Amino acid sequence: MTKIDLATLTIKKAHEAMKKGEFSAVELAQEYLDVISKKNKEINAYLEVYDDVLEQAQKADEMIRDGKGTILTGIPFAIKDNILIKGREASSASKILEGYEATYNATAIGKLKKEGAVFLGRANMDEFAMGGSTENSAFGVTKNPHDIERVAGGSSGGSAAAVAMDGALAALGSDTGGSVREPAAFCGLVGLKPTYGSVSRYGVMSLGSSLDQIGPFGKTVEDTEIIFKAIHGQDPLDSTTIAEDTYESQRVGQKKPIIGIPTFFEQSPLFKKNVEKFKSLGYEVCEIELEKAASAIPIYYIINFAEASSNLSRFDGVRYGLHEGGKDGIEDYFLTRGKGFGKEVRRRILLGTYVLSSGYYDAYYNRAIALRKVLTQDFLKAFQKVDIILTPTTPGPAFKIGERTSDPVAMYLEDIFTVTENLTGMPAMSIPAGIEEVDGKKLPLGIQLTARHGDEKTLFEAGKDFLGEIE
């Protein structure tokens, strides 16, 4: 067997090696299992490592031997704990669903299974995807592999940490307001939030139904693109999914995409350096106005709270998960939800119920919906002049565990650059953009590229160019 260098391994490299017989899917899976056994106790990226990983890998080897393998056959994945795999526990990192076993596969999981991908285990997350640090998990915080005193990001922190610690080659997360892109930035990975409707949400536990989207993590743009191509597409089980030709292909730049930089934030020295790199690669860069971008956080959180309140009403302890007995049905309901839901989930349910209540619906929820449309028009107007909108992914590098937990507003403001894409439905990708040294630790930072609806192709093109990935 050829020695496997997990640190530099990509999906394409692994595929070629398995095809040539340099190592098998079983041997590759075992390498990752060995890393998980050494590192996961400290990092807490996985809530569960599956007991049939090597059996899955054996089937992948059979597919490769029979000539039925694809580029994802035998590739080991970490799967966020809110994405259903039939016969597997899925808790959304909440006590209210502890012990719940999925009865069907999410569409994205079904597609990966068909490709022969290997599922290593379920990754930790913020409870019901509510948070930006994975500190809201009922099963403990996920630590950043670059500095274990810091967060891995959220809500898909476990998925990102699994890849960053070489405990998976790729991962799936879900992104409602930055939950793939923020942990990708904090952990030095590539993370994609696809166009709303391009990937089926069937089999994903809903947080905000008009905001959620499954997205992949990879070490390279190419890895992320490969996964996206495998999981995207229209799905009769999800009425929000879109056809390939829903959006027309457009390009303002003739040779390379034109990049627009919004004026609502102050550029850091590192960000300016990244802009200069794009210019040196032949990209035209200009300033753009996004007048409503500063209002994105309040718009987003009102909609998020409202949709969360509605979606989480189904978790009542009657049909599945935790059940606490009271003197009657109503008390059962209160006791179960009071014990089963964590602090952040209860906060969002209460605030969501408030903004949807009689007398406040128009003042908050309806106004937020109206402003969301204005924000989207801002972006569409900008895309008449540019092909990519470039911002930082996060205001800074990963913060220390416990640093923001007492101040929810400070935590919400971490999403200032990422929520806009969920509100507009546009695709966005975070790519590694440098290192900032803090307290003697080298911490990754990311930049975010946003494109028109349906134009993931331009994101992949510019991202590969920036990172020097050779086609």
CATH of the domain at 51: 3.90.1300.10
- Alpha-carbon dihedral of residues 230, 427, 314, 80, nearest 10 degrees? 50
Has residue 465 been placed in a domain?
no
pLDDT level of residue 325 (50, 70, 90 thresholds): confident
**121 forms bridges with which residues in the sheet?**
49, 78
For residues 169 and 323, give the distance between their C-alpha atoms in angstroms, rounded to a whole number.
Answer: 37
Per-residue model confidence (pLDDT) at position 99: 87
Count other Cβ atoms within 10 Å, centred on residue 18.
21
Per-residue model confidence (pLDDT) at position 336: 79
Radius of gyration of the chain, Cα coordinates, nearest whole angstrom: 21
| Lowest-confidence region among 179-193, 314-328, 332-346, 350-364 | 314-328
The domain total for the chain is 1
Q: Tell me the CA distances in angstroms from 307 to 32, 80, 311, 341, one per residue in order.
A: 37, 20, 6, 16
Has residue 62 been placed in a domain?
yes
Q: Where in 275-356 does DSSP place strands (E)? A: 285-288
Has residue 112 been placed in a domain?
yes
For residues 469 and 27, give the distance between their C-alpha atoms in angstroms, rounded to a whole number.
Answer: 27
432-437, long-range: CB < 8 A, 24+ apart: 432/185, 432/188, 432/189, 432/190, 432/467, 433/270, 433/271, 433/274, 433/392, 434/270, 434/273, 434/274, 436/270, 436/396, 436/397
Q: Where in 346-401 does DSSP place strands (E)? A: 388-392
Q: Does residue 157 contact residue 335 with C-beta atoms inside 8 Å?
A: no
Has residue 38 been placed in a domain?
yes
In this predicted structure, the answer to whether residue 329 has a pLDDT above a threshold of 80 is no
Has residue 448 been placed in a domain?
no
Q: What is the mean pLDDT of residues 422-432?
A: 98
Percent of the chain residues past pLDDT 90, beyond the cut = 89
In this predicted structure, the answer to whether residue 21 has a pLDDT above a threshold of 80 is yes
In this predicted structure, the answer to whether residue 224 has a pLDDT above a threshold of 90 is yes
Q: Give the chain's length.
A: 471
Tell me what the pLDDT averaged over the chain comes to: 95
pLDDT, tens digit, 9 for 90 and up, residues 279-302: 999 999 999 999 889 899 999 999
Has residue 157 been placed in a domain?
yes
pLDDT level of residue 331 (50, 70, 90 thresholds): confident
Q: Which residues are catalytic?
A: 80, 155, 179
In this predicted structure, the answer to whether residue 471 has a pLDDT above a threshold of 70 is no
Has residue 125 been placed in a domain?
yes
Q: Which two tokens stand for residue 189?
A: 């990975």
Determine phi and psi for 279, rounding to 5 degrees. Answer: -60, -40
In this predicted structure, the answer to whether residue 121 has a pLDDT above a threshold of 90 is yes
Per-residue model confidence (pLDDT) at position 316: 83
For residues 355 and 254, give the distance between their C-alpha atoms in angstroms, rounded to a whole number.
Answer: 46
Residue span of the structural domain in which 223 resides: 11-231
Within 21-65, residue ranges assigned H as helices are: 25-43, 53-65
Has residue 367 been placed in a domain?
no
